[in-house]
Amino acid sequence: MAMAAARRWGAGMTGRGGSRWLGLGPGDDALVTPEVTAALAEATDIVGYIPYVARVAPRPGLTLHPSDNRVELDRARHALDMAAQGRRVVVVSSGDPGVFAMASALFEALEATPEAMGTDIRILPGITAMLAAAARAGAPLGHDFCAINLSDNLKPFEMVERACAAARTGRFRHGVLQPPFRLAPASVCPRAGGAVARMCGRTG
Amino acid sequence: MAMAAARRWGAGMTGRGGSRWLGLGPGDDALVTPEVTAALAEATDIVGYIPYVARVAPRPGLTLHPSDNRVELDRARHALDMAAQGRRVVVVSSGDPGVFAMASALFEALEATPEAMGTDIRILPGITAMLAAAARAGAPLGHDFCAINLSDNLKPFEMVERACAAARTGRFRHGVLQPPFRLAPASVCPRAGGAVARMCGRTG
């Protein structure tokens, strides 16, 4: 575990705290990387969306900070603040922290508070649901592929349509995430065969 | 580890062997999932491309079958044959087994030898290099994104150009894999900012 051992919390940075923006994978503990497990074991604070924080077992010395959806930027600032005060803060996402998850909020928060760059910040990748679902479905993403978020909560629906059209033109395998309930995936990508995966790797 | 425990080798299938088509992640042991570690520990045979097989520690009772590049289909058939004979065969890929890796050869081999469908076959996802590189670079794939294999070894170069053009139209973040040496990524996607990652998570 060369990479994990080489980067202790706060090493070479301001203070002895830091933040780890990590991915818990799609749900099964068997898909959580050892690097992530080690970071969780050393954390003093867990920050994240309520159902993801609930996947971390409580223990003495660990404070859980669950918060609701749509407060990602506040959550990221809170995590950076605590890290600056010397806490070891883990920000949990499901799947991978980069894929439509908290790493984007991290960089948005850093733009507003560049002094937080002096703290120890690391992003730890996770198994994204797209790969887990493809493996379970026997439909490997074996050629060029793309991931499209079908939700129009944070962008105009025209951007969703444009991305789907481009995916067809480029002959990408599609992994579509968060289909809005009013839309079946087939209505966006009418000629595509596909699988619908939900709670991949979770039993509950 | 509900998922791993629920699926023993050969459970409910012909024989007591099986095959696991798994991803070793980009290189660091700290990024190998517990599910993959468990499968490797129970394997009797390891099949794969020479440098990936070299990442598995030899032990008594384990036979290593390294093979060279471009014999993926032969390798897949060999793995299925051994599994049908009751061996516990692990086929290793780097990263994720679906992403430009051995899972595609598995399904090609299954088309030719459908009787192998009676054996216990599972694909176990891995951390693909694209996610690990994005995490290390601080460039999360936080919006719609795509993966494009820039190699024209197995497809005409026009398909590469078409995919890159579609990626621009769809405003995808790009993860490009295996750039051919004669091409810099910037020459394919001229206006793109980017990072070049190599041996991500490996120290050697």
Taking CB atoms and an 8 Å cutoff, what residues of chain A touch B132? 125
Q: Which residues of chain A are within 8 Å of residue B167 when distances are taken between CB atoms? A: 146, 166, 170
Res. A204: pLDDT tops 50: no
Summarised one tens digit per residue, pLDDT across range A23-64 is 999 999 999 999 999 999 999 999 999 999 999 999 999 999
Q: Is the pLDDT of residue A178 over 80?
A: no
Cβ contact (<8 Å) for A172 and B4?
no
Say what the pTM is. Answer: 0.86
- Which tokens in the block code for residue B8? 């023993």
Please give, one letter per residue, the 3-state secondary structure of A12-62. CCCCCCEEEEEECECCCHHHCCHHHHHHHHHCCEEEEEHHHHCCCCCCCCC
Q: Greater confidence, B47 or A15?
A: B47
For residue A177, what pLDDT is reported?
A: 59
A154 contacts chain B (CB < 8 A): no
Q: Report the DSSP pairing between strands A120-124 and A88-93.
A: unpaired
> Quick one: closest CA in A to B144, which residue?
A148
- The residue in chain B having the minimum alpha-carbon distance to the alpha carbon of residue A6 is B203
What is the model's pLDDT at position B7?
65
CB contact under 8 A, A97 and B140: yes
pLDDT value at residue B31: 97
Task: Find chain A residues with C-beta within 8 A of B123's C-beta.
Answer: 134-136, 138, 140
| pLDDT above 60 for A180 | no
* Cβ-nearest to B123 among A124, A135, A148: A135
Q: Are B56 and B102 in contact (CB under 8 A)?
A: no
B148 vs A84, which has greater pLDDT?
A84
- Inter-residue contact B26 to B127 (CB < 8 Å): yes
Between strands B145-149 and A145-149, the pairing is antiparallel
pLDDT value of residue B183? 46
Note the pLDDT of residue B142.
79
> Residue B200: its pLDDT value, please?
57
User: What does the pLDDT profile of chain B (204 residues) look like in tens digits?
Assistant: 344 444 688 877 767 889 999 999 999 999 999 999 999 999 999 999 999 999 999 999 999 999 998 899 999 999 999 999 999 999 999 999 999 899 999 999 999 988 888 899 999 999 998 899 889 888 888 788 888 888 777 788 888 888 888 888 887 776 665 544 444 444 444 445 566 666 556 654
Find, among A50, A22, A46, A48, the residue nearest to A36 by Cα: A22
